[in-house]
Amino acid sequence: MKDEFSFIRSIQPDRHHQPTVVAGIGDDAALYDAEEGFHEIAAVDTLVEDMHFTKKTMTPFHIGYKALAVNVSDIAAMGGRPVYYLVSVSVPKSGSWSEAELQEMYKGMTVLADEYGVDLIGGDTNATNDKLVVSVTVIGRVEKGVRLLRSNAKPGDVVFVTGPVGSSAAGLHYLLEGDDCPEHYLKAHQMPEPQVSAGRLLAQAGGRIALNDISDGLASEANEIAEASGVTVEIDWSRVPHDLHGETDEYVEKWTLFGGEDFQLIGCTGQQTWERLTESFEKNGQRLIRIGRVVEGKREVFLLKNGERTVLKKGGYNHFVKGD
């Protein structure tokens, strides 16, 4: 990158989706109006080259797309709609990333942002001595009174997911091995679809709902709900949806339970709300799959498989656990 300021001008949007934007990129900070009757939601994720992504498995376009998708998924898990995002990029001084590649990365973000009507309103661009670092913050909104928190689960609840899990991990495996990657695995890994529409249906359903997005793996997210709510979650393996047909049982279980980055939603709710939800989702042509139940007990998760009930530990991705 020859000039930081010309680059910033080149990625500055020429229009806004949201009428609440007063001033975006071009001043010291963004200025926008908040809508009355809504909670503001903020989510941030930082992606580091060779830890969260690599050019071996992702093009710059896909890296940008996914960097924004990670945060949009967090907004979906709160039942909200994303409205603004900010991007901070630390570019290696080595020149390992060209300005053209960085432009492609921003194009990937723009494609997803346009799909959900999200506006880029600011960020930061600087240099680093090592790897590319991309940090994205997304701001969303949800109606006041809607709190789809991990701590909302209670004994007797239905446990559900919004779609199949494991395909993103399968895609990563095939890409790293250098094998031909089935198209639906490739798309699941490089261009995952945040479940904003499903999150909005859940927010509008009323009733008590615990919710989490599946970013670090089904086992990890289920354990987060169990820990936050002080309950035991039981998952019925025979009900867990996946599109891993033709794979070995070992890989299916590994990718489905511990793979992560599917960005489906996992939730818990009472029977009456569940019945309303299934009707609402069916009317909207969307999926909602029952995979288990919540019972009284310690803050843990059990997997029911082949007549056995075994503890399902967090697993999934953890930055600070050796070997992950």
Q: What is the pLDDT of residue 89?
A: 95
Residues of the chain with CATH 3.30.1330.10: 4-143
The answer to whether the Cα torsion of 144, 150, 151, 153 is positive or negative is positive
Q: Which residues pair with 40 in a beta bridge?
A: 141
CA-closest candidate to residue 125, choices 94, 69, 87: 87
Q: Could you give the CA distance from residue 63 to residue 137 in angstroms, rounded to a whole number?
A: 15
CATH number of 150-311: 3.90.650.10
Residues of the chain with CATH 3.90.650.10: 150-311
Could you read off the pLDDT tens digit of each residue along the chain, which spans 324 residues?
Answer: 555 546 556 656 656 666 666 444 455 555 656 788 988 998 989 999 999 999 999 999 999 999 999 999 999 999 999 999 999 999 999 999 999 999 999 999 999 999 999 999 888 899 999 999 999 999 999 999 999 999 999 999 999 999 999 999 999 999 999 889 999 999 999 999 999 999 999 999 989 999 999 999 999 999 999 999 999 999 999 999 999 999 999 999 999 999 999 999 999 999 999 999 999 999 999 999 999 999 999 999 999 999 999 999 997 544 444 444
Residue 133 CB contacts under 8 Å (≥ 6 apart), including other chains: 46, 47, 48, 49, 88, 89, 90
The percent of the chain in helix, strand and coil, each rounded to the nearest 5, is 35, 25, 40
Q: What are the strands, taking DSSP E only, across the chain? A: 21-23, 31-32, 38-48, 81-92, 119-128, 133-143, 158-161, 209-213, 232-236, 265-269, 289-295, 300-305, 308-311
CA-closest candidate to residue 95, choices 131, 51, 120: 131
pTM score, whole prediction: 0.88
DSSP 140: E
Contact 64, 105 (CB under 8 A): yes
Q: What is the pLDDT of residue 13?
A: 61
Binding-site residues from annotation: 28, 45, 52, 74, 106, 123-124, 150, 213, 215-216, 261, 317
Q: What is the pLDDT of residue 19?
A: 63
Binding-site residues from annotation for substrate: 52, 261, 317
Measured over all CA atoms, what is the biggest interatomic distance in the chain, rounded to whole angstroms?
A: 63
Binding-site residues from annotation for Mg(2+): 28, 45, 74, 124, 213, 216
Binding-site residues from annotation for ATP: 106, 123-124, 150, 215
CA-closest candidate to residue 263, choices 72, 78, 112: 72
Q: What is the pLDDT of residue 143?
A: 94
CATH number of 4-143: 3.30.1330.10
